Amino acid sequence: MADHVTVIESVKLDDANDAIILLDQTKLPNKKEFLQLKTVDDVWDAIYQLKVRGAPAIGIAAAYGIYIVTKNSTASDFEAFYQEFKKAKEKLASSRPTAVNLFWALDRMEARLMKEKEATISEIIRALKNEANLIKKEDQEVCEAIGRHALEVLEPGWGILTHCNAGTIATAKYGTALAPIYLGEEKGYDFKVFADETRPLLQGARLTAWELNEAGVDVTLICDNMASIVMSQKKIQAVLVGCDRVAANGDAANKIGTSGVAILAKHYGIPVYVCAPMSTIDLNTETGNDIEIELRPEEEIKTKWYSESMAPEQVKTYNPAFDVTDHTLITGIITEKGIVSPSYKENLAKLFD
């Protein structure tokens, strides 16, 4: 299925070397460089620096991180092992605040640990490895299912606008918003994808345009401020985006700029689909106002991608990494269980019944 996804795995376990092998996404599209992560600080730094990014991939990296840093534990009893586990968990949980998948994966690792309370330390470590592997395996299946469901509402030949990167490298495979693109490609849907460049860190230009291009998909890169003209010219029939956290009322936090795209799409009468695994839906967060929006350093706006500063040194910056798309702007939330339509409060809750 979907042989078009030829792009390399972004997060892999190298058990023999007690390491996570990570595709350094900050180096794309110019270099395919792999890092070896061995310590909790390595994993924290990789997540914070966006070497691994995208909600599901962050969760997978954190799960493997927990396993890697606890596998050589010398703890002699459960309590001592649990203290080490908790220290690593708390550290990783402090890396980025918005994507709920990070906390979801860490909690899932803890739940597995608790199930093994009576087991030996080596059995517990084996169980943690199995759980991390399972999180990754399930994510691939979940993404494929999201892709299949999304195809129910898309038609061959459509122009699809996407923002940021919710592709194969942001997940175990296929991506969320890009899964239907890959699955559709297999079926000859021949989508025309428009990728917003996604300032300030250019995930659309560096990652989405790169991975779709590698896979032979028809992709056109546009600057963020071009979405309106492209929509007005009827080049876009649907907007597909990923998500970092869906609140109980359907408000969805995703990469900064997503809400602007959704507002434009409403103006032009274009449907907006948020592609989100169940692990991204957080019923404990009531509305988008309750989602913590990560603030990132000013160098990302002023200097990061430039050989010279692109702004006066003293100028203040404001660099929120995400924004919240109001649920009223979302046509449907596409999960592995199917497409959720409004009213989201009722229908998201039903999904978990």
- Residues in contact with ligand MRU by CB under 6 A are 50, 53-56, 99, 164, 166, 170-171, 175-176, 203, 242-244, 254-255, 321
Please identify every residue annotated as catalytic. Answer: 244
Residue 332 has a CB neighbour count (10 Å cut-off) of: 22
Query: Is 108 annotated in some ligand binding site?
Result: no
Closer residue to ligand MRU (CB): 136 or 255: 255
Query: Is 289 annotated in some ligand binding site?
Result: no
Query: Is 53 annotated in some ligand binding site?
Result: yes
Query: Is 38 annotated in some ligand binding site?
Result: no
By beta carbon distance, the residue nearest ligand MRU is 242
CB 132 within 8 A of CB 64: yes
Closest CA to 101 of 248, 246, 239: 246
Min CB(178)–ligand MRU separation in Å: 8
CB 140 within 8 A of CB 109: no
CA Rg value for the chain = 20
* C-alpha 82, offset from chain centre: 28
Closer residue to ligand MRU (CB): 70 or 203: 203
Residue 126: CB partners within 8 Å, gap ≥ 6? none
Closer residue to ligand MRU (CB): 124 or 201: 201
Beta bridge partners of 160: 193, 238
Min CB(255)–ligand MRU separation in Å: 3
Min CB(177)–ligand MRU separation in Å: 7
Query: Is 101 annotated in some ligand binding site?
Result: no
Min CB(61)–ligand MRU separation in Å: 11
Q: How far apart are CA 268 and CA 264, in angstroms?
A: 6
Residue with tokens 């990469």: 255
CB 245 within 8 A of CB 98: yes
Closer residue to ligand MRU (CB): 185 or 244: 244
Per the annotation, binding residues for substrate are 53-55, 96, 203, 254-255
